[in-house]
Chain A
Amino acid sequence: MEELLNVLEKNSRLNEEQLAVMLDKSTDEIKSQIRELENSNTILGYRTLINWEKTSKESVTALIEVRITPQRDLGFDKVAERIYRFPQVKACYLMSGGFDLTVVVEGKTMKEVALFVSEKLAPIDGVLSTATHFILKKFKESGVVFEKKEDDDREALVL
């Protein structure tokens, strides 16, 4: 299972037949394992990693530190939910340390993100403070380096 997930995490476009050969399983086994992983929400989806900077799409990403007052019985979950339900929020993590939530927000411009923070995020009941950090350049994401891969510089023939 773990190896199947490792392989799919790197390349979700491999089909069941290819996966079966790579992992020395039958195609049916692979199919049923994948179904199981999907049903249990272990596999949450299949996506493509895109470097949007290569396109003309305008986009900025900010990392926002949020401090909140936990609520009785609910801890941080309720406030977190009110935050992560906004589609602008791409990721939301509960943190240890000096603040409580990391919220990743994407927008077209810095202004748009700043407005989202001041109009939507900060006024939420229980949010004590926010600190917004804009991402200037992405070097690596999900284990993938954004710069062009270095060419294979090996001699083409070595005995």
Chain B
Amino acid sequence: MNVADMVLPKIKNLPPSGIRKYFDLLSEMKDAISLGVGEPDFVTPWRVREEGIFSLEKGHTHYSPNAGYIALREEISNYLNRKYNFNYNPSDQVLVTVGASEGIDLALRALVGEGDEVIFPEPSFVAYMGCIKVSGAKPVVINLNEREQFKLTAEQLSNALTERTKVVILPFPNNPTGAVLEEKDLREIVNVLKDKDVIIISDEIYSELTYGQKHVSIASFKEVADKTIVINGFSKAFAMTGWRLGYACGHPAIIDAMKKIHQYAIMCAPTTAQYAAIEALKSCDEEVSNMVKEYNRRRRVLVDALNKMGLDCFEPKGAFYVFPSIKKTGLSSDEFCERLLKEYKVLMVPGEAFGACGAGYVRATYANSMENILEALERIKKFINTL
């Protein structure tokens, strides 16, 4: 038996990471500044960590209910009500997951398979393509562009819909572009989808990280509320990536289906993280707001400096990424990033890593200290001046 042949073809054919070589370059490099990280530089607020520690001291080291502790689900429901006016019933419309990542995977596995089509825009978070392929469904990519500020337009969506479309993924605020959809953009998308037999997976993991305007969710439009699954979590807003905790909210029939897979595959989300998360939701508004203010200052510094260097950069209104065009340099994004790293020790990620239409762009994150960002900008400027 050839063991390798035992692996399912659809898994074998999943593309390997396009950025392998950057890991290798980085591993032998000292004092490189990484603007390549997709997670907060902040450490989880101490009061949240402290609750986690306290729960361990009290001996809360067991499985939780499959859907998550009801106390946490209630807090999630209250929080979403307070923030976005949602009314999810904690008993059957909220599922606690192992990060937003698991929520995305569960939703897709519960809804699509061979013969179904899933529409999602690119550039975007790499997990959608992967999870869709694992599910056996067909990925249908919509290429977003800078002219539209990397927004998904109703027209693009309308053109991509077929009778096989079962799910549309809406990833806004977006990784890697920082684009957001405003109420009027969503209204048009709602008009396209409201009469279609299509489920919307709205990945709102960056919903707290918006600048200048509040996040609006497609689930707040009642025409599509029932057919929308809201995916969110603690990783980005509360700087809790390593705790692995997220949640999915939506119609009881879908949440129940997702819960079944979750119960067989995962059993339950981490117990310590759930105790800590209750504290995060209850009493971290000020901590979160301070982090958002700091991100906003860094965002302005980065956008301003990149534009002044001639790396055109539209104004990202959400998440913690900027997505400048490097087309003027005449280099490909890959060449640009490789040379920037090798010669000036700054890591950014080539736009292609987030979909083919990301070519000509690079992603830089401002989830790094102001000090490091200012130093990285000096280095990038030197690099640009040699081109």
Using a CB–CB cutoff of 8 Å, the interface residues on chain A facing chain B are 3, 6-7, 11, 18, 21-24, 152, 154-159
A18 to B373, CA, bound (A): 12
A3 to B296, CA, bound (A): 12
Report the 3 A-B pairs with minimum CB-CB distance, sorted nearest first.
A22-B297, A156-B34, A158-B38
With CB as the reference atom, state the residue of chain A lying closest to B211: A24
Chain A residues, Cβ within 8 Å of B353? 159
- Contact status B300-A157, CB under 8 Å: no
Question: Which interface residue of A7, A22, A154, A157 has the most chain B CB atoms within 10 A?
Answer: A157
Mark each residue of chain B from 20 to 35: 1 if its CB lies under 8 Å from any CB of chain A, else 0: 0011001000001010
Tell me if A's interface is mostly helix, strand, loop or mixed: loop
Chain A residues, Cβ within 8 Å of B297? 7, 22-23
For the A-B complex, the count of residue pairs with Cβ-Cβ distances under 8 Å equals 50
- Contact status A3-B293, CB under 8 Å: yes
User: Please, could you name 6 A-B residue pairs with CB atoms under 8 Å apart, sorted by A?
Assistant: A18-B301, A21-B301, A21-B304, A22-B301, A159-B19, A159-B354
B378, chain A: closest CB distance, angstroms: 12
Mark each residue of chain B from 123 to 148: 1 if its CB lies under 8 Å from any CB of chain A, else 0: 00110000000000000000000000
Question: Which interface residue of B126, B300, B305, B374 has the most chain A CB atoms within 10 A?
Answer: B300
Q: Which of B32, B39, B300, B349 is close to A22, meaning CB atoms less than 8 Å apart? A: B300
Chain B residues, Cβ within 8 Å of A11? 370
Chain A residues, Cβ within 8 Å of B293? 3, 6
Whether a CB of chain A sits under 8 angstroms from the CB of B121 is no
- Tell me whether A24 and B300 are in contact in the complex, defined as CB-CB below 8 angstroms, given that A156-B26, A157-B19 are known contacts: yes
- Contact status A156-B301, CB under 8 Å: no
Chain A residues, Cβ within 8 Å of B301? 18, 21-22
A3 to B289, CA, bound (A): 12
- Contact status A159-B349, CB under 8 Å: yes
- Contact status A152-B300, CB under 8 Å: no
**Residues of chain B in range 22-67 having any CB-CB distance to chain A below 8 Å:** 22-23, 26, 32, 34, 36-39, 41
Mark each residue of chain B from 362 to 384: 1 if its CB lies under 8 Å from any CB of chain A, else 0: 00000000100010000000000
- Contact status A158-B39, CB under 8 Å: yes
With CB as the reference atom, state the residue of chain B lying closest to A24: B300
A158 to B293, CA, bound (A): 23
- Contact status B36-A156, CB under 8 Å: yes
Whether a CB of chain A sits under 8 angstroms from the CB of B347 is yes
Q: Which of B32, B37, B354 is close to A154, meaning CB atoms less than 8 Å apart? A: B37
**Residues of chain B in range 341-363 having any CB-CB distance to chain A below 8 Å:** 347, 349, 353-354
Chain B residues, Cβ within 8 Å of A154? 34, 37, 39, 41
A11 to B301, CA, bound (A): 15
A11 to B294, CA, bound (A): 13
Chain B residues, Cβ within 8 Å of A156? 23, 26, 32, 34, 36-37, 347
A26, chain B: closest CB distance, angstroms: 13
A67, chain B: closest CB distance, angstroms: 35
- Tell me whether A157 and B354 are in contact in the complex, defined as CB-CB below 8 angstroms, given that A21-B300, A22-B301 are known contacts: no
Q: Which of A3, A21, A22, A157 is close to B36, meaning CB atoms less than 8 Å apart? A: A157
B123, chain A: closest CB distance, angstroms: 11
- Contact status A152-B19, CB under 8 Å: no
Chain A residues, Cβ within 8 Å of B304? 21
A155 to B23, CA, bound (A): 9
Q: Which of B41, B305, B347, B370 is close to A157, meaning CB atoms less than 8 Å apart? A: B347
- Contact status A159-B38, CB under 8 Å: yes
A158 to B32, CA, bound (A): 15
Chain A residues, Cβ within 8 Å of B300? 21-24
A19, chain B: closest CB distance, angstroms: 9
A155 to B41, CA, bound (A): 11
B209, chain A: closest CB distance, angstroms: 16
B382, chain A: closest CB distance, angstroms: 18
Chain B residues, Cβ within 8 Å of A157? 19, 22-23, 26, 34, 36-37, 347, 349
A24 to B304, CA, bound (A): 10
A18 to B302, CA, bound (A): 11
A15, chain B: closest CB distance, angstroms: 11
A18, chain B: closest CB distance, angstroms: 7
Chain A residues, Cβ within 8 Å of B305? 21
- Tell me whether A159 and B39 are in contact in the complex, defined as CB-CB below 8 angstroms, given that A3-B293, A22-B297 are known contacts: no
B356, chain A: closest CB distance, angstroms: 15
Question: Which interface residue of B39, B293, B297 has the most chain A CB atoms within 10 A?
Answer: B297
